[in-house]
Structure 1
Amino acid sequence: MKLFKFTLLAIGLGGSLVHSQGYSSECTDMSLIDSWLIGTCPTDDGTGEITSSVYLPNKIENSEGTLKWKIDGSYWSSCDDCELVDSGSTLQCYCDGTYASEDGTTTLNLETYIANYDGHLLSNLTGAITSIPTNSSYAVPTNFDVELELSSENNTCSVLGAYLTLNDPTDCYYLNLGVEYTWACGTSVDNEGWEIVGFAAEDCSGDAVATYTPSNVNTCLTFSTGVQAFSITPLWNAD
């Protein structure tokens, strides 16, 4: 899966929470969509259930043809035909090897570091879970792609210069074109649950210049200062 697709037309430039690992025995509707592990899990009091998701490329790598746990591992860039097996507890992919190892099918037990915490699928790869997020009012998207239509000229989006297709949560995304440029206005399309914040600095420092959410989809935003980079954050139940 390619996380960022860019089309350029013309630019004028406290305490830990303990939970047994074993979500597959209690969660339902397990699926893998665009590298998101999705499932509906019961809350601890048994009175409800929550649908949530975990973004696996942030937690798994392809190490010489073998899936392994690693922060920001980005296994998707060298693996294909990924699917869930064993009732959703195991990730199976066909991954590229190296000169020392052949390409082949590899599996990883997801329940080693992912569990149901009061209805939320969460990873404890970086340490014990100490708090449970609030249940979001946004549903897990059926389509994770969101498109930004941008212009480098202040023209109320009447003439567009570029299209960015995004589906990867990231603290800061800057498209390095090799030349200096800024975006002057833009609109979002097919946004089912992302918050996309534009910044004047390419490292996303400073104040936010513009914010896209599902509430202003298909609305042209004119930026008070030129935008260079974006943070991309899921608003639904996501880890």
Structure 2
Amino acid sequence: MIDEARRRAYLGAMQVVSWLPRVALPFAAPSRPELLETPEPATPLRTDPEPGGVPEMPSRPRPVERAKIEVPRPVARVEAPAVREAIVEPAAPKAASLPPPRFALQLLRAGRCALLVELPTGEPFQSRDPGYLLLRDLLRAAGLADSPRTLGEPVRWPLFRGGNLDQGPQAALEYVQTFVAARLEEEGDCACLWLVGLPALRFAAAVEADACLRELQVEGLPPLWALPGLETLMEEPARKAELWRAMRRVRMRWMSANE
């Protein structure tokens, strides 16, 4: 055991101001009375009523109002009915309507041959027209009658002015072929049909200018022979030589028929 003076020195170094031993220490100074006093319990609240008064009730703490949190009610989900995607086939593109072609054709008969000839002016041939004179020369070279007769009125296209009637190239082709086939059926015994000029080639045989001087076949019509237009032959005399050479080969078709 250490003496009191040293004990207080230790306690002072540890900054202990007051302390109470659990047992009596030898050589210790007597304890201070105030450290041994037991603290009194807190005074209870008075519940006895005072004379002529209402007993005081201990005040209760006011409940703290909590902020109301609105919870959204669950909304029944309405499922949209399943929609089947309709398979729509793309519509076929409409063929672009082409403007009606413009031409005039005259059907002639010379011996065993028929001739579908372009009318450059749209009017029937006159006896002194240069084109008609050239046509007569061609017929003489072919061994045919040089004064052909007309078969019906000229075919002038378009047939009608205005309106919604389709008068495009295909309609013109069908009309010309039907017209020529009907007239030649009435005539009978046609060995060859000359197609003279680009409109005759296009709308009787559905060919272009590169088919000139060639023989063609179209169902419902006699054998065809394609020729340049009369104006083309007059403007390009060199093409006449080609025509003469081709005629020697083709003329056997109608010459043999005459025999």
Fold match by TM threshold 0.5 = no
Higher helix share: 2
Q: Which has the higher contact order (CA 8 A, sep 6+)?
A: 1
Q: Which has the higher strand share?
A: 1
Q: Which has the larger radius of gyration?
A: 2
TM-score category, normalised to shorter length: under 0.3
